[in-house]
């Protein structure tokens, strides 16, 4: 077994990804997105399945032309290395860019998303994709949230993780300090109720700098962050709440709509 294969097996563990600053990209599209974004690819394991399509053949040629190390294995061996059932013949080791908290900048009229205990990596990745789609300034992954480098987060982001500024493993106190330093309005996403103190989307001025906290699927926004925030709810009919990714998408869409109307 090559050292690259050993590295891939090691990177299946969160601690190894965080220690090495590396992650895994599976499938043709995700590796294409990494290359397009300038993300360093440290090597890739490929099987004959990659060359089953012209797109896969092109990708393999691109990797070869860039001098990226490729290790050829059988289909069965690659399937064992992969996290997905259909990895499309490639698993690559990548070195995603990491931003500092200062780089998750907040320009006038921008929105920072804060993920507070969102544990489902699919939801976390979908939120990253929505953040890019609707022009969020950046995303904070607080401690207790799914890792942005989890293979499922990467896949669900569809490449947005390579382009949207984000920070991870941030504690609540540091996040609160950043809110204060950047003079952000802070909103906490909560289920829709008839309580008067809960703002609906129509009552929020998203042309101002703000942070929107999306809490865990089961517990919501943590008490430490909730205490300094204004409750914000997406009006719903028949259901009390949306899942984290859906709620974030609706909020970001409204923010984008308001900003587009501002002269």
What is the C-alpha separation between 230 and 163, in angstroms, rounded? 29
Closest CA to 213 of 229, 199, 201, 197: 229
Choosing from 64, 94, 124, the residue where a domain stops is 94
| Residues recorded for the chain | 263
Asked if residue 16 and residue 45 are part of one domain, the reply reads yes
CATH of the domain at 42: 3.30.1330.30
Asked if residue 77 and residue 157 are part of one domain, the reply reads no
Say yes or no to pLDDT of 196 above 50. Answer: no
Q: How confident is the model at residue 195 (pLDDT cuts 50, 70, 90)?
A: low
Q: Which domain, by its residues, includes 7? A: 3-94
For 78, the enclosing helix (H) or strand (E) is helix 75-81
Asked if residue 204 and residue 77 are part of one domain, the reply reads no
Asked if residue 212 and residue 86 are part of one domain, the reply reads no
Asked if residue 119 and residue 25 are part of one domain, the reply reads no
Asked if residue 204 and residue 150 are part of one domain, the reply reads yes
Asked if residue 117 and residue 244 are part of one domain, the reply reads yes
Query: Tens digit of pLDDT for each residue in 236-263?
Result: 877 777 889 999 999 999 999 998 887 6
What is the C-alpha separation between 4 and 182, in angstroms, rounded? 43
The model carries a pTM of 0.90
Query: Tens digit of pLDDT for each residue in 129-169?
Result: 999 999 999 999 999 999 999 999 999 999 999 999 999 99
Choosing from 61, 79, 94, the residue where a domain stops is 94
Total count of domains within the chain: 2
Choosing from 59, 94, 129, the residue where a domain stops is 94
Asked if residue 87 and residue 137 are part of one domain, the reply reads no
Q: What angle do CA 157, 142, 11 make, to 5 degrees?
A: 55
Asked if residue 152 and residue 90 are part of one domain, the reply reads no
Asked if residue 153 and residue 79 are part of one domain, the reply reads no
Asked if residue 111 and residue 59 are part of one domain, the reply reads no
Of residues 97 and 262, more confidence is placed in: 97
CATH of the domain at 181: 3.40.1280.10
- pLDDT score for 107: 67
Q: Tokens for 45?
A: 């394991």
What is the C-alpha separation between 71 and 83, in angstroms, rounded? 18
Asked if residue 222 and residue 143 are part of one domain, the reply reads yes
What is the C-alpha separation between 87 and 22, in angstroms, rounded? 19
């Amino acid at each position: 077994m090559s050292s690259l294969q050993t590295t891939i097996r090691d990177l299946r563990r969160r601690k190894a990804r965080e220690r090495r600053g590396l992650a895994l990209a599976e499938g043709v599209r995700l590796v294409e997105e990494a290359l397009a974004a300038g993300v360093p690819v440290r090597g890739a394991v490929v099987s004959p399945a990659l060359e089953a399509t012209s797109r896969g053949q092109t990708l393999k040629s691109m990797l070869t032309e860039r001098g990226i190390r490729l290790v050829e294995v059988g289909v069965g061996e690659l399937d064992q290395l992969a996290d997905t059932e259909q990895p499309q013949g490639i698993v690559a080791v990548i070195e995603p860019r990491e931003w500092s908290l200062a780089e998750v900048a907040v320009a006038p009229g921008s929105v920072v998303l804060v993920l507070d205990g969102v544990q489902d990596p699919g939801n976390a990745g979908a939120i990253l994709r929505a953040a890019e789609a609707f022009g969020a300034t950046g995303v904070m992954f607080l401690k207790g949230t799914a890792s942005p480098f989890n293979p499922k987060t990467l896949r669900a982001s569809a490449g947005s993780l390579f382009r949207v500024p984000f920070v991870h493993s941030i504690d609540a106190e540091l996040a609160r300090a950043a809110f204060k330093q950047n003079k952000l309005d802070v909103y906490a996403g909560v289920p829709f109720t008839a309580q008067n103190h809960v703002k609906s989307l129509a009552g929020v001025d998203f042309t101002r700098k703000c942070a929107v906290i999306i809490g865990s699927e089961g517990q919501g926004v943590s008490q430490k962050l909730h205490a300094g925030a204004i409750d914000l709810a997406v009006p719903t009919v028949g259901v009390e709440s949306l899942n984290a990714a859906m709620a974030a998408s609706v909020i970001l869409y409204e923010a984008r709509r308001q900003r587009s109307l501002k002269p």
